[in-house]
Structure 1
Amino acid sequence: MAHRLLVRRIWTLSAKEIHYLPASSTAIASTSFSTSLQPSSSRVSFLSPSHALPRSLPHTTRRQVTFIVQDNEDFTERVINSQLPVLIDFHAQWCGPCKILGPRLEKAVAKQEGRVALAKVDIDDHTDLAIEYGVSAVPTVLAMRGGDVVDDFVGIKDDDELDSFVSKIIGK
């Protein structure tokens, strides 16, 4: 019973009392009875809305450079009509090498600070896009600029090769 009272007392301490919190647990127990007669309006619960975290974090206006293609219209709008060069990562959930290449590719694109975009296309969800662009194995990465495919590779590359591939696409 004393433990419940002690816990209740700690949860309902007023802001003024927090600064003068006694060091020993016996002092806490003895003060819990002397101050429990305070009106409930002067007590502040740590779970009250006034102590809640902000509802949202500040938003940045940076443009998203990595995105998942949702459908053919989304592909046309965000890849073919893009002002930026776009790398298209054709991958599959069941593909082990795709899981290795994906994060490496995202890292290489992030290093370019918005000068190139990365579109991720799951071939199981968008088989028609894979057929249209001649994807016969995954992972396949196509580089597109102005709606035209300018370069591609199939398989895994190391970080240096990916960086040079992305830099070459930006420079063309």
Structure 2
Amino acid sequence: MAQKLLLRPFLSIPRKHLSVPLRSPPSSLLSRVPTVPSCPILCGPSSAIAAPAAATRTFSTTQVFRDTFNVQDGDDFQDRVLKSQKPVVVDFHAQWCGPCKILGPRLEKMVAKQKGKVLMAKVDIDDHTDLALEYEVSAVPTVLALKNGNVVDKFVGIKDEDQLEAFLKKLLGP
């Protein structure tokens, strides 16, 4: 109700009075920006419009982003982790956890080195406490190795790259 009372003076103004005429930018700005000499579709054949600087964005997908994903909910965990044909490393972490911030990128790098042989699922324990309880996560970071939906290995805490490599080799082994 208070919003209607505040907006009433503005809502009573006719639309034709609300439109503001466009002004052209100062010539000092136009001299620094490339111009389009003709814009027949929008502006007519003889108008000059300041064109925005050509900004290109590149998009690339690296192996890390294809092999690593954040778990959205229990169904997503079921579909992408437990039913996965490939072995999956599950990183239970938290945003407030310092060691998690160190281990996460290190683990992602090691998973990317496997070139698609293993996937990595990231589970935030604050968002998915049910999964953390189900897999008996009592401290973070906790990393599980799952193969065919079964936990085959687990560690808690930070590991260096050599230890992570051995962990992944054990997961990928026969």
Q: By the TM > 0.5 criterion, same fold? A: yes
- Indicate which of 120, 123, 136 corresponds to 1:121: 123
Shift of 1:52: 5.9
Deviations for 1:13-68, whole angstroms, at most 9, x for unmatched residues? 569xxxxxxxxxxxxxxxxxxxxxxx845x574428xx5647x7477899821011
> Matched residue of 2:120: which SS?
strand
Q: Is contact 2:87-2:171 (8 Å) kept?
A: yes
Whole-angstrom CA distance in 2 between matches of 1:155 and 1:92: 13
Q: Is contact 2:36-2:51 (8 Å) kept?
A: no
Q: Which blocks of at least 5 consecutive residues in structure 1 are unaligned?
A: 16-38
Which residue of structure 2 aligns with residue 25 of structure 1?
none
- Indicate which of 68, 84, 87 corresponds to 2:86: 84
- Indicate which of 127, 134, 139 corresponds to 2:141: 139
Aligned length: 142
Q: Is contact 1:108-1:163 (8 Å) kept?
A: yes
Which residue of structure 1 aligns with residue 30 of structure 2?
8
Q: Is contact 2:63-2:112 (8 Å) kept?
A: no
Whole-angstrom CA distance in 1 between matches of 2:168 and 2:155: 12
What pairs up with 1:1-172 in 2 under 5 angstroms? Answer: 5-13=27-35, 40=46, 45-47=50-52, 53=56, 57=59, 64-172=66-174
Shift of 1:159: 0.9
> Matched residue of 1:64: which SS?
helix
Whole-angstrom CA distance in 2 between matches of 1:62 and 1:47: 34
Q: Which blocks of at least 5 consecutive residues in structure 2 are unaligned?
A: 1-25, 38-44
Shift of 1:143: 0.2
The percentage of counterpart residues that share the same residue type is 57
Letter in 2 for 1:116: V
> Matched residue of 1:124: which SS?
coil
Letter in 1 for 2:72: Q
Cα distance change of structure 1 residues 144 and 61 upon mapping to structure 2, 3 Å threshold = closer
Q: Is contact 1:89-1:140 (8 Å) kept?
A: yes
Which residue of structure 1 aligns with residue 13 of structure 2?
none
Shift of 1:92: 1.1
Letter in 2 for 1:147: G
Q: Is contact 2:30-2:50 (8 Å) kept?
A: no
The TM-score normalised by the length of structure 1 is 0.71
Q: Is contact 2:82-2:149 (8 Å) kept?
A: yes
Q: Output the aligned Cα RMSD.
A: 2.8
The TM-score normalised by the length of structure 2 is 0.70
**Structure with the larger helix share:** 1
